[in-house]
Structure 1
Amino acid sequence: MFVAENARQRADGYRGSVSSFQRIAFVLTDACDLLGVTVVAEALECASELAGVQHACKYGVQLLSANGGLVKCHRSLVVSTGKLGDTIGTRFACVFVAAGPNVDEVCNGLSHAAWLQRVRATATPVRFLAADTVHVSERDRVVEESQAKARLSGAIKAAFEVIRDDMGESIAREALHRTVSVHVDTILSSTDAGMTTADKVRAAGQWLRNNCHRPVSVADAAHACAMSQRTLLRYFQACLGTSPSEYLQRARLDLACVLLAETSLPADKIARRVGLTDGGRLGKLFRRCLGKSPTEYRAWQHARTNGLQPVHANERPREVPADMEAAA
């Protein structure tokens, strides 16, 4: 059974670079259901163990709430959490929100909404875990069991997508088989059957964006989304309007822009955090796409933030040149 304190200890125990550590946040609210949180967290832990030393990615889990401290979840279970405000500046690979029956309060509440907005600004995926929306009596066990099955199914699919994007489909399936005693393949097959080629291409694009901070390739994205590289290259341009290599460069450019604007890290460190080898390659990317060096872009952003320079239409990023594909 998943225990909050153990999860935090596991997260604190992980050490390494951005490429080896994927920090996952679970945002808990009053009366939220812990079923989905338990399934996803245990599957992530199992995936880390299965990957071993053969894969760079490891997961660390952090439980959060608006005010921190103890949160009274569904069925009066009490969980200790950290405070959302204390994580400002922390980059998460993915955020799961266990919102309970009052999901609108999470989306519209000032504390949650502002935090989620900052998270989304860094292109971090935010997923809402299914809630126990209907309270039933003892006579309505069929309804209650149906709800539990739906919540479990949603959590399995969510865990599968995250692990598959980072480590591939085989590890994702094996991790879920080891942690969930239900028909995992049946639940996942319903997801696969409903995915069109366009859906898989969009999933590949999301995978590239989620993993742009690592030295990944187009072949890695194709494998993670159960496609051949040839098929991905064939349809990517039509679905997303660019090549996979150009899309990866744009994702790295977007992330670098955020880091330049919000941190004081030097260019070399930012280059490594966005999947590039050194500051020279980062500078080349910026000059070709934005017409500025990273240092000039940082100064320009600070001037905008302080109201010293207006935003002009011609400051929008240029298209990533075709010859940048070789750098992906």
Structure 2
Amino acid sequence: MTRVGVVVVEGTSLFELGAPCSVFGTPRPEVHDPWYEFVVCAESGAHVGDGWLQVSGSGTAPLEGLVDLDTVIVPPLQDSSAPSSPALASLLREAHRNGARIASICTGAFTLAEAGLLDGLRATTHWLHAGRLAREFPAVEVVADVLYVDNGQILTSAGKAAGLDLCLHMLRCDLGSEVANAVARRLVAPPHRQGGQAQYIETPVPAADGHGLGTLLDWARANLHQPITVATLAARFHVSPRHLTRLFRATTGLTPLHWLHLERIRQAQRLLEDTDAPLEHIAARVGTGTAATLRRHFTRTIGTTPSAYREAFRTPSAAAG
């Protein structure tokens, strides 16, 4: 079984600690058996969540145990400006040398940066702290407006709920989409939010002619097979293309065309996972035209080819059919 551990030191934030414990630390034999071997690697006596919880040696492993794990998850400190200990940085570097996958949640990215593990890599953190991460660690390419960044061995996420998104993403990579979706349903969480999705909504969406933007988004999702332009969307919403673009940015953090692109890729992912339909058919369903065009956009967005994605994430029912 894959050995997954979460780091707990003095001042660890309780909320972000809960996400990896819920995803990896709760055995789910009805979903997948065997499950992960999960451990809390903690400083004895560490206070968590502004002192609400004190971690004892019972039921935990020493902090040094993280060097033997397959996956190490680093939650943030309650005080985001507090430096991490040199001992923890040294242990994380050793775990990295041993081949561990290392992930941070929220400002846990500062701990990884202090260990030198983010140098030369793309990384994210909570948008409020992204500027400071970039200033203090100029060797890190900080991406301030995404949910999470997956570099393979090193992963970082934005704050709070994005930590759950990252954990579900890792679960999806390990055990496939069917398992990740089942766990997400039990946690009443979205089954898969792509890392490139915007972190937050800047302003509420004003009503237009009594209708919210959600109705338009639902229509677009149901009609991806048709040619859809910004002008098409604007006409349906009874606003100018410029005003529609402002609404999209405020709601999703994306332009209408970028949002349409991601929705086409997401629908292609679902069809690759759940059906054996040929790529030409999927391309027509999602509105990319040819299989070659879908293959190019899919690979650029997801980082792997449609055939490799299908092999990794196809559901058992689709494979059997």
Shorter-chain TM-score bucket reads 0.3 to 0.5
- Per the normalisation by structure 2, the TM-score is 0.43
Instruction: Flag the structure with more relative contact order, 1 or 2, with Cα contacts below 8 A and sequence separation at least 6.
Output: 1
